[in-house]
Structure 1
Amino acid sequence: MSAAKGVEDAIRMLEGRWKLVILFHLFGGTLLRFSDLERAIPAISQKMLIQQLRQMEVDGIVTRTVHHQVPPKVEYGLTDWGQSLCPALDALLKWAERR
């Protein structure tokens, strides 16, 4: 795979208005319920939050844990691979700050 193709694939996994915001809320090993994420990101619609979380789950960035109880409890967290994005995004932020 070429470097350009690799970058395209990485950007595709992170594109979307809300994915990076969701990631920042989940960094540090935090497990959050769907409602916690809704409260943390008030501008996102429920439909968009579900869509973004599902895409990140398919890409192997986010885990979804369903606790079978009443009412149902669903928690989201980062996979180890998803957590490994933290230093890369920190570097990107530092790069942008130097502008």
Structure 2
Amino acid sequence: MAETRPVWVIYDDGSTGHMEIPEGDGDPALAKPGRLVTEAEYTARLEEIRAARAARHEAEETARLEAARADYDALIAGGFPEATARRLSGYQGTQAPAA
């Protein structure tokens, strides 16, 4: 089996790529605009992507919880029993209903 070497890519759209190409082959043609980078640059970009994904997930979860709490508060204010308000809103927090 032929020896290979790793090649790391950061594409112009911000995505990344990693390939193993035969040793001795020139630089590969890229499927979309981008540039070959070092492993360190590739790893740094992956960490940026992971951090952005985690921040986005956290923001979405916070918004979901806030919406569930707002729905719960509205149901309580409308006279629904607490158990029903929790079931309908999906809110499972421990805070008492808003006054």
Q: Does TM, scored on the shorter chain, surpass 0.5?
A: no
Bin the TM-score by the shorter chain. Answer: under 0.3
Q: Please give the TM-score of this superposition, normalised by the length of structure 2.
A: 0.27
Q: Please give the TM-score of this superposition, normalised by the length of structure 1.
A: 0.27
Kindly indicate whether structure 1 or structure 2 has the higher relative contact order, using CA contacts under 8 Å at least 6 residues apart: 1
- Radius of gyration: which is bigger? 2
Higher strand share: 2
